Amino acid sequence: MDKTMLKKDLEAVTQTIYYDVEDNLREKTNDPEAVLDFLKQVEELLANNREDSYQLCGILGNLYRILEKPKKAIDYLERALRIANEKHDCEKIAVTLIRLGEALKYNEKHQQAMECFDQAMALIHKNKLDNYLDFALQHKGKCLLELKRYEEAEQYLLKTLKLRKQKEDATLIDSTEQVLKYMKEIL
């Protein structure tokens, strides 16, 4: 599988992902077989490709989380984090901390997830990586929501919404509005 095919297949797999209203709007797939087939190909590619190992570990970590295999997700994301740390790439470290936090949340390790989100936010602020702040805020807000800390969750989600409106990205705005609507419904 080359990079073009990887991107095309990843886009196809991404189309199977949805937010489960029955499970705190966690990401799931309606075609686990397709995701598993894709993951096997990515794992083969990773075994033969050191150059793109950060990207491949990130893909594997995200998709294993979505397949509800958080321990495998955590393993791959910790590997991605090591690679990002070795290269002293603050942007990749921040992104990976957010992804790792999500995987930890899926593994019911909410406190560790919160620590990852906090580390990511500190790194984002320190290195002026403002493009990622809304993601860290949203994921921390959703984690707080799962912990039933609704007032705090709402504060983070409203900050997220404000930033996403400034970005003028309809998909991201909709994502945050969905979480806020979900929270109002469960209250």
User: What does the pLDDT look like over 27-68, one tens digit per residue?
Assistant: 999 999 999 999 999 999 999 877 899 999 999 999 999 999
Q: How many domains does the chain have?
A: 1
> Domain containing 155 — which CATH number?
1.25.40.10
Spatial separation of the C-alpha atoms in residues 127 and 83, rounded to whole Å: 19
- Average pLDDT along the chain: 96
Q: State the Cα–Cα distance between residues 130 and 135, nearest whole angstrom.
A: 10
The conformation of residue 18, written as its DSSP 8-state character, comes to E
How confident is the model at residue 71, as a pLDDT? 98
Q: Residue 6 CB: number of other CB atoms within 10 A?
A: 18
Residues 177 and 161 sit within 8 Å (Cβ to Cβ) = yes
Domain around 93: 3-186
> What is the reported pLDDT for 2?
74
pLDDT confidence of residue 176: 98
Q: Is 125 helix (H, G, I), strand (E, B) or coil?
A: helix
Q: What is the reported pLDDT for 62?
A: 97
- Judged against a pLDDT cut of 80, whether residue 81 lies above it is answered with yes
